[in-house]
Amino acid sequence: MIFARYMLREFGKLYGSICGAFLMIYCVIDFLEKNTRYFPKYNIDWTLIIEYYLVQIPKMFVDVSPFGIMFSGILTMWIFARSGEVSAMRAAGQSVRRICRPLLLASVLVALLCFCVSEFIVPPALLHLQKVETVKIEKSALSQMFFESQWVRGDGSILHFKKLNQLERTLLDPEYIVMRHRTEVAQIVHAQKAIFDNQAGSWSLVDAWVNNFAETGELVSSQNVAFFKTNVSSQPPKLLRDGVSSDLMSYRELRKALNESRSSGGAMTSREADLYQKLSAPFANIVFAFFALPFALRRERQADTYIGIVICLLASAIYWGGCASMRTLAASGAILPQLAAWGPPVAFLIFGFLLMLRVDRRS
């Protein structure tokens, strides 16, 4: 237990340092590239540049975390091997799986952390990044971020609108129509805009003019209200079709939007692959640990550690290339989205597990 805590402490330090180094390298390279044209073009100050990169950190952390797991795992086992602690544990009859168990459990916790970050922090952070780029840096109006759209269906009602603003999550010039029967209009509500009420789970009209109609079709009453709640809880189907990144939506939001799109007859094969990859992408932390640690323990010499790092880098390139290729195939309908998302991680996990068993038999 003491050895496990000691190993986890060393692993945590290396993992934090390596992830921080990756994030710093990305920011420096991106800054050098954008500081030649993009930033000077709009004459922005340093505070805005810092905000621009801060909001990108959650997404970058999720992307570099598997590499942090891989390098920190290899270096941790190399440090313990050089000090003779791994040899002592092997001489005491400990298997490779038992030696690596604390780091494998740590990779599981990191995978859960990455999923929580991508689910709750990444979507609003990337949405804020779009606002920083469009409004604060490029000095564009929010109206330029509108996506043209048409309608959203509710229970016996239709919410028609002219434009959708993804940044503000509002609908422009909405018209809400409630049907008494399929061919009989009971109510028509006009408003300046509509906002989504997260507590009620439906759209609400702001500064609305409510017109009520009798069964004969005659106007019965009209009144102006500050807020008018609708029974429409769906997101506009065209929101997904117009190229909005799946990273801007959480797993729950994307799943709900896909279900609503299917009910309206939309085909979203590529988005289904994105949905399953939101679950499989954090799993890469566990996969990278499983095939990195056996290479670190193959021999306890420094040269073999460097060879292990090179092999792991090549394997990780194959892994991400395979994930991208499988998603392309899923988007074209050649394979199932579930296979595209889970095929590479499961295959590499089996490979890493077999490799660990092989190292166990040799030790």
133, exposed or middle or buried, with CB in 10 Å at 0-12, 13-18, 19+? Answer: middle
Range of the domain at 207: 150-235
Does residue 304 belong to any structural domain of this protein? yes
Radius of gyration of the CA atoms of the chain, in A: 27
pLDDT of residue 230: 92
CA 93/CA 353 separation, integer angstroms: 20
Q: 285 and 327 share a domain?
A: yes
Kindly give, in sequence order, each residue whose CB lies less than 8 Å from that of residue 37, ignoring residues fewer than 6 positions away. none
Number of domains present in the structure of the chain:
2
Does residue 106 belong to any structural domain of this protein? yes
pLDDT of residue 1: 67
Angle subtended at Cα 120 by Cα 116 and Cα 121, rounded to the nearest 5 degrees: 100
User: Helix, strand or coil for residue 269?
Assistant: helix
Q: Give the count of alpha carbons within 13 A of 336, CB side only.
A: 4
pLDDT of residue 144: 45
Does residue 265 belong to any structural domain of this protein? no
Does residue 65 belong to any structural domain of this protein? yes
pLDDT of residue 16: 96
In tens, the pLDDT along 180-226 reads 876 788 999 999 899 888 788 789 999 999 999 988 878 889 999 99
Q: 85 and 123 share a domain?
A: yes
pLDDT of residue 131: 81
pLDDT of residue 33: 93
Mean pLDDT of each 10-residue bin along the chain, 363 residues long: 84 95 95 92 92 96 94 86 75 75 93 95 88 82 48 82 71 88 84 85 91 87 92 65 68 78 60 89 92 66 63 84 89 88 91 78 61
Q: 125 and 202 share a domain?
A: no
